[in-house]
A and B are shown apart, each in its own frame.
Chain A
Amino acid sequence: MPGRKIAVTGIALVVTILGCGNPRVSWLKPYYDNSFARFQPTDREKAKQSSLKREYPHPYDNVFDGTLLILQQYAIIGNASRETGSISYVDIDAILIKDNFWNYEFPFTVYLESTRRGTMVYVHPMGPLFDGKADDKSAIEEKSPEIIRSGYKQKGEEFLERLSVQLTTTNRWPWLTGK
């Protein structure tokens, strides 16, 4: 029955289109609505417990400036303080996880701390998944928290690597970066 085939195909198309276009409300929506005015960084001690961290053999100010320069290219910076060393941002780049292409918002707090050998950078994923409020179903992918967790890890590592390249490049080949 061609009519039946067409009807089934039509229904499938409608479901596909509606399914793809159905907007998922982000838990970050209130922050978008108020221009990130209350988008506060994570507590320092908590952020320092993050496994995403790296020490760079560069002065604090260079690392702070490099961090902003990297983040402005692909993230929304909510606030930044040179005094406290905190920068909070939302990474809205797309991400490839296990052969799936995800478009997601990954909020992070970065903390910088001077050390004897240079500067330590801590990257702390923000959000209910990491704040012990995983019962907030609107905040995370209900069925795939592990994928989201690995996404945060990948994005955090990506940032640390980009910062490393930025600092190394600026330091070794300043003419390449217009310095």
Chain B
Amino acid sequence: MRNSPTGNSLLVACLVGILAVPVCASTETVGQFPFVSGKRIEKTRIFTADFERTWDAILSSIEQDHRAWKKLEGRLTNRKWDVYADKNARLIVIHARYEGGKSEPRALYMTYTFIVEPIDPDHTRVHCHNVSRNRNVPPGVVGGPYFRIGTPAYFDMAEKALKERQGAR
């Protein structure tokens, strides 16, 4: 092993690899993942409904998601979440916390923020962003697939809820 070029190269490679991990992780700040499989993540959708109905549909989609999460009991442990909603501020914030679990062992805390913005009596714009804070990576670094699938999923569920209610009327 003494003065072995292979050994030295390995050592250097290991050092570079170890140093590269935190550097790479720390440069992945929130908002720098706009593409998934070549398709831009949808952060804004215009709903064909007034403010009140869109607001209710978004809350309904969150409620549906909450029920779906309850069914997954056991896959993630100690799952908690809360929703902060202020209609006058047109703001909804989901605070979600995870502890352990095999699928998302790193995720500790994440938040989804919705802003519901009336355009006219028939249209409402909804903006949604996700920010997460993880246990093993620096705060502010996005982690887990939820960032990529979360927003369209909520939008689609809200769209479905609106259509169901329109059909029921």
Contact = CB atoms under 8 A, between A and B. Distances in A.
A65 B90 contact: yes
Given A76-B131, A92-B133, A94-B26, A35 B139 contact: no
Interface in B136-169: 136, 138-141
Contacts of A132: none
A92 B139 contact: yes
A36 B84 contact: yes
B44 interface: yes
B112 to A, nearest CB: 9
Interface stretch (A17-25, A46-54, A121-129, A144-152): A17-25
Given A80-B89, A93-B29, A68 B115 contact: yes
A92 B131 contact: yes
A103 B140 contact: yes
B89 A2 contact: no
A82 interface: yes
B97 interface: yes
A80 B6 CA distance: 60
B18 A17 contact: yes
B53 interface: no
A9 B29 contact: no
Binding site secondary structure of chain A: mixed
Contacts of B29: 74, 93-94
A77 B117 contact: no
A24 B138 CA distance: 10
Nearest to A179: B119
A178 B45 CA distance: 11
A93 B125 CA distance: 26
A131 interface: no
A69 B18 contact: no
Contacts of A9: 11
B19 to A, nearest CB: 9
Nearest to B111: A76
A99 to B, nearest CB: 14
Contacts of B136: 21
A33 interface: yes
A98 to B, nearest CB: 16
Given A72-B129, A92-B133, 17 more contacts: A2-B2, A13-B15, A32-B109, A35-B82, A68-B91, A71-B113, A72-B113, A72-B115, A73-B31, A77-B113, A81-B88, A92-B139, A92-B140, A94-B140, A103-B139, A105-B139, A178-B44
